[in-house]
Homo-oligomer: A and B are copies of this chain.
Amino acid sequence: MKNNIEEYLKKIDEIILSHLGGNHISGTIAEASRYSIKSGGKRFRPYLLFAALDAFSIPLDKGLKTASAIEMIHTYSLIHDDLPAMDDDDLRRGNPTNHKVFGEAAAILAGDNLLTESFHLIVNDEKLSGGTRLELVRIIADSAGQNGMIGGQMLDIEAENEEITFEELETIHKYKTGRLISAPVHAAVTIAEADAETASHLLRFSEYLGIIFQIRDDILDVTGDVKVTGKNTGSDARKDKVTYVSAFGLEGAKERMEQKVSLAEAELDAVKRTIDITELKNVLNKFAIRDN
């Protein structure tokens, strides 16, 4: 069903851009919000949500708005992260960052807007029951809030001028990026009404995937091409951030990724008799293991 997922990923962009471009009061808010969606990205979280729905043979239509909402939240977090008061980045996905194009005020508001409108999108999803929509708002607010992404982002900022241990680094990643990578899987098992055991294997899979994703990011920061990563090589290293590479060296980081890939595969293998894990394995192959 791979081509099918690719087709649905295109629909994500259509849904988000159409929602943001409707009868808008402020053309600038619409333009600034759409800019960061249009500037690309891997759509990793929507892909993951569709792959997980596919495992349960659930029509991907049922995940379209939730996947769009999660992508909007991811995008808002990037816009705010890039602000001068935060990471102060000029380049994102190979393009000037939002505040470089629209100014800081519009970038702050565009981020606020993507976050607010993501919830709007979910509550209006007529393909899902009211109860499911409510549960999805709960999952996503929880993943994105103080005990999720925002909490982790704050820890990350506070760690910038501190010496932190590797365990502290792992905690930061777990929340800053991990929770919003688990969210699409959590959303999918909710939409699919998965049994508790299958759900818990898939949630653990998504947690390993979050770590894999972070190790890959750290490796690409050192070895990556700006054309591939969309940001300047070595930008984390220049900020003296602790990374998997600074902690364990390039080979050590790659070894750790392999270990986590094995653990993630084991979680999928544990449920392969009840669901079709093909697409979830594809996610692992496509996003996790990249030899640069």
Measured CB to CB, the residues of A under 8 A from B are: 20, 22-26, 28-30, 33, 76, 80, 83, 85-86, 103-106, 108-109, 111-113, 115-117, 119-120, 123-124, 130-131, 133-134, 137-138, 141-142, 144-147, 150-155, 157-158, 171, 175
Contact = CB atoms under 8 A, between A and B. Distances in A.
A68 to B, nearest CB: 14
Question: How many copies of the polypeptide does the oligomer hold?
Answer: 2
Q: Which 8 A-B pairs have the closest CB atoms?
A: A25-B151, A85-B104, A26-B154, A120-B141, A116-B145, A29-B154, A123-B138, A26-B151
Contacts of A158: 26, 28
Contacts of A134: 123, 130, 133-134
A71 to B, nearest CB: 16
29 contacts: A24-B151, A25-B146, A25-B152, A25-B154, A25-B175, A26-B150, A28-B154, A29-B150, A30-B146, A76-B112, A80-B112, A85-B104, A86-B108, A105-B157, A106-B154, A108-B108, A112-B115, A112-B150, A113-B145, A113-B150, A116-B141, A116-B145, A116-B146, A117-B141, A117-B145, A120-B141, A123-B134, A123-B141, A133-B134
